[in-house]
Amino acid sequence: MTTVPQISKDIFVEILQDKKLVQPDDLLIFQTLYSLDKQEASATDLARIIGWTDKAAVVGRVVGLGMRIVKKYDIQQRKRENGKKVFWDFFFTGYYKGTYFIYQLKPELKEALEECGLTQNIKPISIQNSYLFVWNPNKWSQWTDPNNEPYIEKNIEELNNTGKVTLMWSCRSHKSIKPGDRAFLARVGSTPRGIFASGKVVSEPFLSQHWSGEDKDVPRVLIEFDTLLNPEKEPILTLDLRRLFSLKNYSVKENLSTRNWAPQSSGISIRPEAVDELEEEWFEFLRTQNIRHNPFSETTDTTITFVEGSATQVTQTRYERNIYARKECLKHYGYSCSVCDFNFEKFYGSLGYKFIHVHHLTQVATIKQEYKLNPIQDLRPVCPNCHSMLHKQNPPLTIEELKEIIKK
């Protein structure tokens, strides 16, 4: 294999300023990577963050840009042992993390992006990973015992009254899991088997005594659950859990009750490709099932309410946006801006598919508490420009006021 190509910062500046070479999609990849922790991510994660179908959209654009650069610049290109040319290492270094290859933005490209003023308005973001935690009643049946603490029915009541309940759970992926990551809880062992709770991780991993009382510590995290069902009293989402971890073509809708396979550990990372499908299945399940204390069930008068806000103390007060409420809003209103009627998919094609912001007519940041949100009455889709203009003053403009400004 030939030497990895080295492109200087000055050449990268030339490349970034050449609109015939660098297309908007190429720049979007670099800017997205720049915004991430350690400025690194897999092609799969980049595609999910940007909103593209899969990693092929990222890889294809990287290869395309590399081919255009080779035509203009005399850059030594590396080849694989099979003779195929390599393009990604023009822009990135990288390493394997399990089965995923992680792109790292080259320092020279980072400096060039900054010098060209292409990073000024980029806000740091963190990749949210998803993990599956498990509960096996054959090993720990005390959770359904009214005399035990915690007791699942008491936990469900707390969630119904406050909108959340926080529980401690063992975690295998203690070296990678972090606050903010998505958490799903599955019942394994005895039937029914499947997903019966969801929430988010709200602590760093810590050591705590094993649930059995044995004289040993195990890694745990705190999970703040937004949904919790009792598998012995109401339906749960039965599916083949192998689909969440294996690359084989298992259907996520296969009924888990007919299979004996189950994860042997709790807190296992879910494949990024399976996360969106799982979220969709879980959302549709909650919307359509007869579940106690279900804030997501459909009603005949379309006045579905959602717990919104969920203030948590970090370095500052932070209000969590409810993902189910967003989906319900966009299902009703669509993806065109409520102010200027701009539609990203119509203008940008597949790149803009389902891209839109959601604006809260009631400003949760001023409420300082949780409240019942109606996604049809309280939310509206708006483009990023109009969203910024709505918040240009305090209190924000109304949608009607901004529409009048546009007409002038």
Q: Give the CATH number, domain containing residue 83.
A: 1.10.10.10
State how far the Cα of 372 lies from the Cα of 377, in Å rounded to an integer: 11
Higher pLDDT, 239 or 372: 239
Model pLDDT, residue 311: 37
Last residue of a domain, one of 288, 319, 346: 288
100 bridge partner residues: 97
Q: What is the pLDDT of residue 308?
A: 45
> What pLDDT sits at residue 296?
58
- Do residue 79 and residue 161 come from a single domain? no
Asked whether residue 353 falls in the same domain as residue 278, the answer is no
- For 246, the domain range is 130-288
Domain membership flag for residue 2: no
Same domain, 101 and 147: no
For the stretch 267-295, pLDDT in tens is 888 877 677 778 878 877 887 788 877 65
Is the domain of 146 the same as that of 191?
yes
Same domain assignment for residues 338 and 237: no
| CB distance 22 to 65 below 8 Å | yes
Same domain membership, residue 142 and residue 257? yes
Structural domain count of the chain: 3
Q: How far apart are CA 131 and CA 156, in angstroms?
A: 21
Q: Please state, as a whole number, how many other Cβ atoms lie within 10 Å of the Cβ of residue 291.
A: 20
365-388 pLDDT tens trace: 454 444 556 788 888 999 888 888
Which pLDDT tens digit goes with each residue over 30-86? 998 998 878 898 898 888 777 676 788 899 999 999 999 999 998 878 888 887 888
Same structural domain, 192 and 236: yes
Q: Which residues of 229-305 form beta strands (DSSP E)? A: 268-269
Q: Do 168 and 282 sit in the same domain of this protein? A: yes
Residue 396 CA to residue 281 CA, distance in Å, equals 35
CATH code of 148's domain:
3.10.590
Nearest to 127 by CA among 233, 23, 45: 45
Q: Per-residue confidence at 13, pLDDT binned at 50, 70, 90? A: very high
Alpha helix locations (H) across 126-188?
Answer: 152-162
- pLDDT mean over 164-187: 86
Better pLDDT: 399 or 356: 399
| Residue 202 identity (one-letter amino acid) | V
Does residue 296 lie within any of the structural domains?
no
Report, as an integer, the average pLDDT of 252-281.
63
Classified as helix, coil or strand, 15 is helix
180 lies in the same domain as 283 = yes
User: Do the domain assignments include residue 254?
Assistant: yes
- Position 173 in a domain: yes
- Of residues 47 and 363, the one with the higher pLDDT is 47
Is 121 within a domain? Answer: no
> Is 91 within 8 Å of 11 (Cβ atoms)?
no
Q: Are residues 279 and 327 in the same domain?
A: no
Which of 65, 84, 115 is the C-terminal boundary of a domain?
A: 115
Whether residue 270 is found in the same domain as residue 155: yes
Assess if residue 124 is contained within a domain. Answer: no
pLDDT tens digits for range 110-119: 999 999 999 8
**Which domain-ending residue is among 115, 148, 168?**
115
Reference 181, options 133, 236, 213, 111; nearest CA is: 133
Looking at this protein, which amino acid is placed at residue 368? K
Domain assignment present for 259: yes
Same-domain status, 199 and 230: yes
- Give the SS3 label for residue 92: strand
Given a cut of 90, is residue 228 above it in pLDDT? Answer: yes
- 294 lies in some domain: no
Paired with 210 in beta bridges are none
State the pLDDT confidence band at 16, using cuts at 50, 70 and 90: very high
246 has pLDDT over 80: no
**pLDDT tens, residue by residue, 149-163:** 789 999 999 988 888
Of 124, 126, 105, 107, give the one whose Cα is nearest residue 27.
Answer: 105
